[in-house]
């Protein structure tokens, strides 16, 4: 399913995440796979609650990081695709 600004995302139930300093650690419990991600990516994951779409997530992060909207939106779409491919996120609605 392609990503769009209205795409709703949610974390898989076996995902656990935390921050260590300026990076994040994501554990996929199912198989013990661990990902280390940068500050923006972990913040993005922290904000995913199954209710906010990509556009709303972009709005929140825009207030926290000095970056232009289109760059951030592209980056988040890329993060989301990557995390979907790692079975961290799934799309609930598009």
Partner 1 sequence: MSSFADKMRQTWDENILFSALLELTYSCNLDCSFCYNEKDLQGRTLSRSQYLELFRELRAMGVFNLILSGGEPLAHKDFFLLGAEARKLGFVIRIKSNGHALHAATAKRLKEEVDPFSIEISLHGACADTHDRQTRVPGSFDRLIKNLFILKDLGLRFQLNSVLTRWNENEIAAMYALAEKFAVPLKFDSQVTPKDNGDSSPLELSPSEKGLRELLRHQHDFARQMQSEATEQPPQTRSYCGAGTSTIAIDPVGNVFPCVQWRQAIGNVHDQRMQQIWQNSTALNSIRDKNIEARTNMLNQGSKAALGAFCPGVAKLISGDATAIYPSVHLRSKLHEDILNNTDI
Q: Which of 6, 18, 71, 94 touches partner 1 (CB under 8 A)?
A: 18
Q: Please list the residues that pair with 34 across neighbouring strands.
A: 27
SS (H, E, C) 1-34: CCCCCCCEEEECCCEEEEEECCEEEEEECCCCEE
Q: Which is nearer to partner 1, 45 or 80 (CB)?
A: 45
Backbone angles phi, psi at 55, to 5 degrees: -65, -45
Out of 3, 12, 27, 77, point to the residue binding partner 1 (CB under 8 A).
27
Closer to partner 1 by Cβ: residue 17 or 53: 17
Q: Which of 4, 5, 23, 74 binds partner 1 (CB under 8 A)?
A: 23
φ, ψ of residue 15 to 5 degrees: the values are -90, 130
Residue from the set 4, 5, 6, 16 that interacts with partner 1 by CB under 8 A = 16
């Amino acid at each position: 399913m392609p990503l769009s600004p209205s795409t709703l995302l949610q974390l898989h139930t076996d995902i656990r995440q935390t921050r260590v300093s300026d990076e994040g650690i994501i554990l996929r419990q199912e198989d013990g796979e661990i990902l280390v991600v940068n500050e923006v990516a972990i913040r993005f994951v922290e904000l995913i609650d199954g209710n906010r779409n990509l556009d709303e997530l972009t709005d929140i992060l825009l207030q926290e990081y000095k970056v232009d909207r289109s760059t951030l939106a592209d980056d988040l779409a890329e993060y989301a695709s990557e995390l979907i491919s790692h079975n961290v996120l799934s799309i609930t609605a598009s």
